[in-house]
Structure 1
Amino acid sequence: MRAFKENMTGYAFISPFIIGFLAFTLIPIVVSLYFSFTNYNLFAPPKWIGLDNYKKMFTADPRYWQSLKVTLIYVFAGVPLRLAFALLIAMMLNTASKAVGLYRTLFYLPSLIGGSVAVAIMWRNVFGDLGVVNILLDLIGLPVVRWFGDPTAALWMLIFLSVWQFGSSMLIFLAGLKSIPRSYYEAASVDGANGFQQFLKITLPMLSPVILFNTVMQTIAAFMTFVPAFIISKGTGGPLDGTLLYSLYLFIQGFEFFNMGYASAMAWIMLIIVGILTVIIFTTSKLWVHYESEGGK
Structure 2
Amino acid sequence: MSVLRLENVSRWYGNVVAVNGVSMDIGPGVTGLLGPNGAGKSTIIHMMGGFLPPSSGTVELDGAPLWQNPEIYRHVGLVPERETAYDFLTGKQFIVAMAKLHKLADPGAAARRAISQVEMEYAQDRTIGNYSKGMKQRIKMASALVHDPPVLLLDEPFNGMDPRQRIQLMDLIRRMAAEGRTILFSSHILEEVERLASHIEVIVAGRHAASGDFRAIRRLMTDRPHIFLVRSTDDRKLAAAIIADGSASSVQLTEKGLQIEATDFQRFTWFLPQVARDAKVRLWEVSPADESLESVFSYLVAR
TM over 0.5: no
**Normalization by structure 1: what TM-score?**
0.22
Query: Greater share of strand residues, 1 or 2?
Result: 2
Higher relative CO (Cα under 8 Å, sequence separation at least 6) belongs to 1
**Normalization by structure 2: what TM-score?**
0.22
